[in-house]
């Protein structure tokens, strides 16, 4: 039977001990989908929008990277990690949606799934923040892990 890794035998919360794990190259990719109503989407016209706060995409990308770097401070029991790289990409998709993809990389004893998920989440929230003046009918539809590699197992969403 599988057990939660962040609980000890008595059911108390613990940080996972990664001291005995081997260092390996690890990468994780996550995605967030942001649905924008037409009154917001029409401003993008196939590209980023400049606002008084700056470009929506560029600001969201920077916010996502900053969020990934602070994951250990935001999520209890996550190890604080010095990322080797974090990248965020935003594409305009069909159905008035933005597809945000975040990739985190590290050579370490622990993975970077939470960092990739945090980057995608914070980027999506930043898009919401920058566009809410046009409409509050913005929906962050899904945040999900797409893939991870390194460590004892790899994963790819099918």
Q: Tell me how far apart the alpha carbons of residues 65 and 85 are, in angstroms, rounded to a whole number.
A: 9
Range of the domain at 124: 24-149
Pairing of strands 139-149, 24-35: antiparallel
Q: The domain that contains 102 carries what CATH number?
A: 3.30.70.640
Decide if 5 is inside a domain.
no
Q: Tell me how far apart the alpha carbons of residues 70 and 72 are, in angstroms, rounded to a whole number.
A: 6
Angle between helices 113-131 and 56-69 (to 10 degrees): 150
Decide if 112 is inside a domain.
yes
Decide if 68 is inside a domain.
yes
What pLDDT, on a 0 to 100 scale, did the predictor assign at position 1? Answer: 45
Decide if 157 is inside a domain.
no
Contact by Cβ (8 Å): 71, 78: yes
**Number of domains into which the chain is organized:** 1
Q: What is the mean pLDDT of residues 10-35?
A: 92
Tell me the pLDDT tens digit for each residue of 26-79: 999 999 999 999 999 999 877 889 888 889 999 999 999 999 999 999 999 999
Residue tagged active-site, from 17, 129, 137, 154: 129
Tell me the pLDDT tens digit for each residue of 42-52: 998 778 898 88
Mean pLDDT of the chain: 93
Task: Give pTM, 2 decimals.
Answer: 0.93
Decide if 11 is inside a domain.
no
Decide if 98 is inside a domain.
yes
Task: Give catalytic status of residue 154 as yes or no.
Answer: no
Q: Tell me how far apart the alpha carbons of residues 37 and 96 are, in angstroms, rounded to a whole number.
A: 7
């Amino acid at each position: 039977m599988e057990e939660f890794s962040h609980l000890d035998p008595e059911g108390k919360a613990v940080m996972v001990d990664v001291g005995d794990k081997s260092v390996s190259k690890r990468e994780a990719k996550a995605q967030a989908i942001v649905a924008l109503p037409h009154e917001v989407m029409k401003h993008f016209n196939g590209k980023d929008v400049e606002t008084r706060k700056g470009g929506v995409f560029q600001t969201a990308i920077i916010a996502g990277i900053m969020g990934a770097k602070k994951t250990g401070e935001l999520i209890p029991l996550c190890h604080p990690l010095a990322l080797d790289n974090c990248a965020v990409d935003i594409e305009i998709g069909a159905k008035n949606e933005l597809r945000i993809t975040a990739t985190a990389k590290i050579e370490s004893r622990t993975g970077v799934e939470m960092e990739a998920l945090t980057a995608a989440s914070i980027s999506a929230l930043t898009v919401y923040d920058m566009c809410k003046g046009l409409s509050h009918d913005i929906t962050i539809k899904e945040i999900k892990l797409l893939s991870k590699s390194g460590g004892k197992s790899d994963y790819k969403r099918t």
